[in-house]
A and B are shown apart, each in its own frame.
Chain A
Amino acid sequence: DAMVIQNPRYQVTQFGKPVTLSCSQTLNHNVMYWYQQKSSQAPKLLFHYYDKDFNNEADTPDNFQSRRPNTSFCFLDIRSPGLGDAAMYLCATSRITGVGNEQFFGPGTRLTVL
């Protein structure tokens, strides 16, 4: 089945220790997104790629970076995680942007920062 896959599902890191979260998709969608979701809050968009074009949200901290080496894979790098970065990180994909861009989410990676 076509899907969005995230690894690992659970990640524990230490304060300040870099961590990389992985997302892959078999949907062949052009657009890939990274969201941060904290408990009882709505998902917050960090950035997205339309093909190779990177689009950063204005309020995304510099601590968060992303890479998309090919259509299928996208990575979220947190350079120096703080306690406030503990959250669920959701990857999503859509075929296009604009009207009709239903987004399909992966299962998420739950990040714990010790």
Chain B
Amino acid sequence: RKEVEQDPGPFNVPEGATVAFNCTYSNSASQSFFWYRQDCRKEPKLLMSVYSSGNEDGRFTAQLNRASQYISLLIRDSKLSDSATYLCVANQGGKLIFGQGTELSVKP
């Protein structure tokens, strides 16, 4: 079983849609979590940090459920520019454990 698991997608959604990505982690000692966005052939860019139950930044909302070892990322009102791969990351004692990423394609 992978330490951080994500649905690889791709998720194909129309502009304006709401889309949710799910992520599960196996190590209950994970201290904090991040969502990174990675465009094709580019570096990961930090989208959001999650330390407690969740975080919200504009159209993006992350929720953490430690009991279920589950993190989600919700994107509201999707834009074409949101098309990318979204990486779920668990922080285990300072080491980042990356999920495989979920690919999102937003269509006109």
User: Which residues of A are in contact with B by a Cβ distance under 8 Å?
Assistant: 40-43, 45, 88, 90, 97-108, 110
Contact = CB atoms under 8 A, between A and B. Distances in A.
Contacts of A107: 42-43
Contact of A100 (B32, B42, B100): B32
Interface string B19-61: 0000000000001101000000111111001010000000000
Interface residues of B, number: 21
20 contacts: A42-B87, A42-B98, A42-B99, A42-B100, A43-B44, A88-B41, A90-B43, A97-B93, A98-B31, A98-B94, A99-B51, A100-B32, A101-B91, A102-B34, A103-B46, A103-B96, A107-B42, A108-B42, A108-B43, A110-B41
A41 B49 contact: no
A104 B95 contact: no
Given A42-B87, A110-B41, A102 B100 contact: no
8 tightest CB-CB pairs across the interface, nearest first? A97-B94, A42-B98, A105-B43, A99-B31, A98-B94, A108-B43, A105-B44, A99-B32
- Grouping DSSP codes into helix (H, G, I), strand (E, B) and loop, the A interface class, with mixed when no group exceeds half, is loop
A99 B30 CA distance: 9
Given A98-B31, A99-B31, A99-B51, A45 B42 contact: no
B41 A102 contact: no
Task: Give the interface centre of A42, A99, A106, A110 by most chain B CB atoms within 10 Å.
Answer: A42
B31 A45 contact: no
Given A42-B87, A98-B31, A104 B99 contact: no
